[in-house]
Amino acid sequence: MTIGIGDPLPSVQITRLTADGREPVDTAEYFKGRRVALFAVPGAYTPTCSAKHLPGFVEKADALKARGVDEIACTSVNDPFVLEAWAKANDAQGITMLADGNADFATALGLDMDGSKFGMGRRSQRYAMIVDDGKVAALHVEAPGEFRVSSADHLLETL
């Protein structure tokens, strides 16, 4: 079952990389008490993710924050070291990278997909959501192969 508007985020262990190394993150706790724009990509360094999705959120970060977003976070089924390198390669300062290495978070949300025919295994669908105090306030899931409703521009239009 796919998570919906008004639902609380599930408690799943994911990882982020800090100056001190890998840090476990409990998703239910991490998103409490603030408003977060969370977007998910099928994989770091993949074409649409690198050319459009991440750069759009980097470019629109100030506009999103001006509309009440406290933090912008990206999740992907990659390890935290790959996400950190991808963030640096794209000058994505200010975007929190949350590694869902085993697709546990994507699966718990009901937003996972099978990318095996592309050699990618289990991945996250492409989506963007607003999480307000741990609950889904807005959710925009892309149709397979599309990039429209999960863009930073579209998210801004809906705020």
36 close to 69: Cβ distance less than 8 angstroms: yes
DSSP summary character for residue 127:
E
Query: How confident is the model at residue 121, as a pLDDT?
Result: 65
Positions of the chain with pLDDT under 50:
none
Q: How far apart are CA 85 and CA 133, in angstroms?
A: 29
40-54 pLDDT, tens digit per residue, is: 999 888 877 777 889
- Fold of the CATH domain 13-158: Glutaredoxin (3.40.30)
Catalytic residue among 25, 41, 49, 83: 49
Amino acid at 9: L
Contacts of 96 (CB under 8 A, 6+ apart): 16, 71, 72, 73, 74
Q: Is residue 49 among the annotated active site residues?
A: yes
